[in-house]
Amino acid sequence: MSRDTPPFKRLRDLVHTFICSECEEADMRIALDDAAPLYRHAPEAQEAKATGERAIQRFMEEVLPEAQQTTRIQAAELIKTTLSTVGKEFSEHPRTSAEIENYSNAMADMFCAYLERLSIA
């Protein structure tokens, strides 16, 4: 998605895509948990993680240009942790498309409200 798309629209799309993929891949993720230590430390995994971190930093700089760096870092960590933890938990049970859509929208609303509050603080 391009930077021409408004940031909160990109965030909403990210949340929806992430939650959908978590639900679609839940069985495989559970099966791969035993192999996790082997691939988490692979150079390719480290490179992908670093690329993701840079993208999140750029996004936070765009959304919170006036915020202190520590605030942007904390916001990024909170959103990443919440997204991954809640996404994993939510995906552990079969979900309908409507449930996924509603849950993704609610989570995106929460993230957007948090970032909006930080931007005016």
Q: 16: domain CATH number?
A: 1.10.357.10
> d(Cα 100, Cα 50) in Å, to the nearest integer?
28
Phi, psi for residue 59 in degrees, rounded to 5:
-60, -45
> d(Cα 72, Cα 57) in Å, to the nearest integer?
8
Q: Whole domain around residue 61: which residue ranges? A: 7-120
In a domain, 92, yes or no: yes
Which of the listed ranges 53-57, 74-78, 117-121 does the model predict with the highest average pLDDT? 74-78
CB 57 within 8 A of CB 76: yes
Look at residue 30 in the predicted model and tell me its pLDDT. Answer: 67
Q: What is the pTM of this model?
A: 0.84
What is the secondary structure of 39-65 as a DSSP string? HHTSHHHHHHHHHHHHHHHHHHHHH-T
Look at residue 49 in the predicted model and tell me its pLDDT. Answer: 80
Helix (H) or strand (E) holding 102: helix 97-120
**Spacing of C-alpha 74 from chain mean position:** 14
Token look-up 């996790």 returns: 36
In a domain, 1, yes or no: no
Count of the separate structural domains present in the chain: 1
Q: What is the CA radius of gyration of the chain?
A: 15
In a domain, 2, yes or no: no
Query: Could you report the per-residue pLDDT of 93-102, keeping only the tens digit for each?
Result: 999 999 999 9
